[in-house]
Amino acid sequence: GENVEQHPSTLSVQEGDSAVIKCTYSDSASNYFPWYKQELGKGPQLIIDIRSNVGEKKDQRIAVTLNKTAKHFSLHITETQPEDSAVYFCAASHSGGGADGLTFGKGTHLIIQP
Amino acid sequence: DAGVTQSPTHLIKTRGQQVTLRCSPKSGHDTVSWYQQALGQGPQFIFQYYEEEERQRGNFPDRFSGHQFPNYSSELNVNALLLGDSALYLCASSPTAVSEQYFGPGTRLTVT
């Protein structure tokens, strides 16, 4: 089955700096890669996703890149703000036109230092 | 428009008991997936329901079962509870033929 590795487990950055979280996946058939943000006591919130036919996607301060050859994808957050502090999860799945079960990484605790 | 809702919020059960958790999907969504999230870990896929049938299943024993109703709401049942079943149980919904899954706030289950 699919295996998703996520690094680092904890990331501390100064407010206004950029943060990068990296994930690798094992199953070359995976073609859908979402990122979720989870705040304390809440469920994961979808913040951005990318499909295997796209190399990069951007939404305001958040961007995701995908390297299919290396089976590697990354989340980039620019101009970090205190409200960006949370646990971030990457995930992967096969998507044959429907919602398949997601395989998640173990999460990155992002801390924004004021 | 209400998002995904789950009940109850918290639950405490004793080892060996049975539990039922409930989920109402986001309006317009017909597919429901269940995940287990242990403390400090990422969610793990349990199973997915579509058209009232189990469409996919993760690596969980058959103590974990589910149901989907005609209004697309869903239940997760866990029999013969073990201490290791203590976790946050998350429900996610999505529309037909769309990959995006939207999560509810979860039910925190504690088994003593």
What pLDDT score does B1 carry? 66
Work out the burial of residue B101: count CB atoms within 10 Å of its CB; fewer than 13 is exposed, 13-18 middle, 19 or more buried: buried
Chain B residue with minimum CA distance to A101: B45
The residue among B45, B55, B56, B64 with the most chain A CBs within 10 A of its CB, best to mutate, is B45
Alpha-carbon dihedral angle through residues A105, A109, A110, B2, given to the nearest 10 degrees: 70
Q: Quote the pLDDT of residue A96.
A: 62
* Token pair 């039922």 in the structure block, residue: B20
Q: Which of B43, B48, B50 sits opposite A44 (nearest CB)?
A: B43
The answer on pLDDT for A97 being more than 80 is: no
- pLDDT single digits (tens) B42-72: 999 999 999 999 999 999 999 999 999 999 9
| CA–CA gap between residue B42 and residue B88 (Å, rounded) | 11
Say whether pLDDT at A95 is over 90. no
Q: Two tokens at A94?
A: 């096969």
Residues of B in contact with A30 (CB under 8 A): none
- Report, as an integer, the average pLDDT of A44-65: 94
Interchain contact, B50 vs A98, CB within 8 Å: yes
Q: Is the pLDDT of residue A98 over 80?
A: no
Give the pLDDT of residue A100. Answer: 83
Search chain A and give the residue with CA nearest B29. A99
Residue A99: pLDDT band (50, 70, 90) is: confident
Q: Which of B36, B88, B99, B100 to mutate to test the interface with A (most CBs of A within 10 A)?
A: B99
Average of pLDDT values for B13-24? 98
pLDDT of A5: 98
Chain B: give the shortest CA distance to residue A33, in Å. 10
**B60 in contact with chain A, both atoms CB, cutoff 8 A:** no
Is the predicted pLDDT of residue A48 greater than 80, yes or no? yes
pLDDT above 90 for A52: no
Instruction: Give the number of residues written for chain A.
Output: 114
Percent pLDDT > 90 in chain B is: 93
- Using a CB-CB cut-off of 8 Å, the residues of chain B touching A102 are 33, 35, 43, 45, 101
B1 vs A41: which has the higher pLDDT: A41
A10: its two tokens: 């904890």
